[in-house]
Amino acid sequence: MKRQRGVNKFEFAIVVSIFGVLAFVFLARMERVQGDAERTEVQLTIRHMRVGMQLAVGELIMHGEEHRMAELAAINPVRFLEKKPPGYEGEATSPSRRGGWVFDPLRKEIAYRPRLPQAFDGRDELRWRYQSVAFAADRLGGLRLVAVE
C-alpha cells in the first residue's frame, strides 16, 4: 500500500478552521482594545478641558475678579487646551463625522461623536456643559464641566 504524502483535505480543513477561530478571537479582542483606547482619549480630553478651566477660574480669583467667572461659562472649553483635539470641527450644533468634536454655541455644550459607539453604550453622541458652583447664594465660586445625559 502506498503512503500518501502531504496534507489531506480533512487536515487542511482543521487547520483552516483553527485559524478562523483564532482570527475571530483576535478581531474581537482588538475591537475591545480600540474601544478602551477611545474612551481613554475622550476622558483625557475632557479632563484637560476641566484643568484648563480650573486654572482660568483660579487666575480670576487670584486677581480678585470673581465677578468675571460667568464669562468663562460662555467660552468654548477647547480654548482651555494647548492644542485642539484630533477631529475638532469648530462651532456647530453636532459633529458631522465619527471622531469629531464641536462646540455648540447655542447650548454652550461640547459634543463628541464616537468612532465606536458600542464603546460608549451605543450612544451616538456625547455632550458636556458648564455647571456653576456657588460658595454662597449670591456668589459664584467656580465652574464644572459635567456630562449631559
35-84 confidence digits (pLDDT tens): 999 999 999 999 999 999 989 988 988 998 888 888 888 889 999 999 99
State the pTM of this model: 0.79
- DSSP letter for each residue of 66-119: GGGHHHHTTS-GGGGSSSPPTTEEEE-SS-SSTTEEEEETTTTEEEEE-SSGGG
The pLDDT mean for the chain works out to 89
Residue 24: per-residue pLDDT: 93
Residue 106 confidence (pLDDT) above 60:
yes
Sheet of strand 88-91: strand arrangement: 88-91, 100-104, 109-113, 126-136, 139-148
Residue 1 confidence (pLDDT) above 60:
no
Residue 147: per-residue pLDDT: 94
Residue 137 confidence (pLDDT) above 60:
no
Q: Average pLDDT in the 109-137 region?
A: 89
Tell how far CA 107 is from the center of its chain: 19
Whether the Cβ atoms of residue 110 and residue 128 lie closer than 8 Å to each other: yes
Amino acid of residue 118: Q
Q: Band the pLDDT of 138: cuts 50, 70, 90.
A: low
Residue 143: per-residue pLDDT: 82
Residue 46: per-residue pLDDT: 96
Residue 127 confidence (pLDDT) above 90:
yes
Q: Average pLDDT in the 130-149 region?
A: 76
Residue 125: all three cell numbers together = 453622541
Residues contacting residue 28 through CB under 8 Å, at least 6 positions apart: none
